[in-house]
Amino acid sequence: MPITDSSILLKKKSDQLRKSILLVSFWSLSDPFCIARRSYEGRVGAVVLEGEYFATTSNMDVIYAPPVIKKMTYKKNYCLGEDDPLQWPQFYLAAAPYFPCIPRSPGTLSEDSSTYIMFHRITDSDYEHQHDQSLTGLGHLTKSLLIKAHKFVHETVNNKYDRVKNGASIFTQLYSSIHRSLNFLESLPMTRRQVLFIFADFQRHLLEFVAAFNYVNMYQPLMDGHGEPATVVDDVIGAFTTDVALADKFVRAGIPVWIIRPAPLAGSVRIDALVEPLQSKDFLCLESAYHIYPISYIGSPLEWKKYLTFGRYSRDFLSYGDVFDVASLQPNDRLVATAKKARFQPCECLSTLIKKHNSLKCHPQTNLPRTLPLAGEISFLTSCIPFFHQCTLHGVLLSYLSIKVGRLRHS
């Protein structure tokens, strides 16, 4: 049954039990909830996912609405909305354990900050036209951003990579992607659409690289029990989980974590206060850019495949596609593509039409085809073929049709 009254979540353990156990948590004399709590208990709690579940957290004072199953697309700000681990907590995925460690964008961003290049929100003004090119409509990233990008990669990424290049393969993959994107932005003439997308993808790789580095060198040792538990919560994205043991590791490492429990367990765990979950629509750009970047995915927030799908799209973004694949072209280009195929494969086109004609059903009384769409197909086909090929093709088609229709009438 869905939770209809959120006050049921406020059931608390007795004071004697709470005071008898030393708990790993975040509290101080200034903390209004200064009585220690376990990692799986709630500093705050909220009803989520249409009342079917509730969320708790022992190391944060806010709760974000978990992502749900819906169509995942790029948004107008080149991010993925509430499905984007760069800007909204996601459910923990073992395939990307560093996602919760992605740094949050600071409230105020100074251009002098060493991390400015990671959080700068790209706009049209960051694109400059090239006036020395024979083709118009091409340009590059502004020089000021290129300087900042080079500086960050040289001083931060390269130094960190030297320490982990013999470790997990994710570092080599991200490192290569960072340098490839930077090279494109610096020297490859591109359209505004391409420059802005490649820069946003460059930022994504930077943030993931820093998160992966911090996860391996700082958070994972704490999660595995090495060293003293963290006493502050770091300003990183965090994660949702249904695993209480994993949540305890996150608390120990100082990573924000929210435990999602089914509604029937409401009232079974201590929660000190109720809050309204924060909704992505109040903080993020959710306006779809599917018409600009036509890639989407519908599936569970727990599916790693969705990130692989968008990763492949970004890797192939500057690909010009298969020149022999009509389906990969835009609708307006299909006529041209068909013309090219008809020119170089006339026999195949003819055989295709003949097969379609043979499959037409006949009227039961006249034995004639119920419809004859082949004439329209011939017209379309011949309009796509150079004139000096049309005469021969017309002759063959007309001869074939006259013989075929004659047989139908005499059968």
54 & 148 share domain: no
Hey, what amino acid is at 184? F
Say yes or no: 179 and 154 in one domain. Answer: yes
Closest CA to 45 of 265, 280, 243: 265
Domain identity same for 178 and 210: yes
Which pair of structure tokens corresponds to residue 263? 């509604």
Of 302, 319, 336, which residue sits at a domain end? 319
Instruction: Note the pLDDT of residue 353.
Output: 40
Same domain for 286 and 177, yes or no, is: no
Residue 36 sits in the same domain as residue 116: no
| CB within 8 Å of 354: residues ≥ 6 apart | 400
Q: Which two tokens stand for residue 109?
A: 């961003």
Angle formed at CA 260 by CA 254 and CA 263, multiple of 5 degrees? 150
Same domain, 90 and 166: no
Query: pTM to 2 decimals?
Result: 0.74
Residues 143 and 96 in one domain: no
Same domain, 94 and 26: yes
Domain boundary among 319, 339, 357: 319
Helix (H) or strand (E) holding 15: helix 15-19
Q: Are residues 112 and 223 in the same domain?
A: yes
Local confidence pLDDT in tens for the 411 residues of the chain? 788 777 888 765 444 334 333 333 343 434 444 445 789 999 999 999 999 999 999 999 999 999 999 899 999 999 999 999 999 999 999 999 999 999 999 988 999 999 999 999 999 999 998 877 677 789 999 999 999 999 999 999 999 999 998 888 999 999 999 999 999 999 999 999 999 999 999 999 999 999 999 999 999 999 999 999 999 999 999 999 999 999 999 999 999 999 999 999 988 999 999 999 999 999 999 999 999 999 999 999 999 999 999 999 999 999 887 777 655 555 444 433 433 333 333 334 444 444 444 454 444 444 433 333 333 333 333 334 443 344 444 444 444 445 444 554 454
* Whether residues 47 and 140 fall in one domain: no
Tell me which residue range forms the domain holding 48.
1-101+236-319
Are 95 and 240 part of one and the same domain?
Answer: yes
Tell me, what's the pLDDT at 328?
52
The dihedral built from the CA positions of residue 136, 138, 143 and 144, taken in this order, carries a sign that is positive
Hey, what are 386's tokens?
């150079």
Sequence-ordered list of residues with C-beta below 8 angstroms from that of 225, at least 6 positions apart, any chain: 252
Count the domains in the chain: 3
250 and 141 assigned to the same domain: no
Domain closes at, from 266, 295, 319: 319
| pLDDT for residue 6 | 77
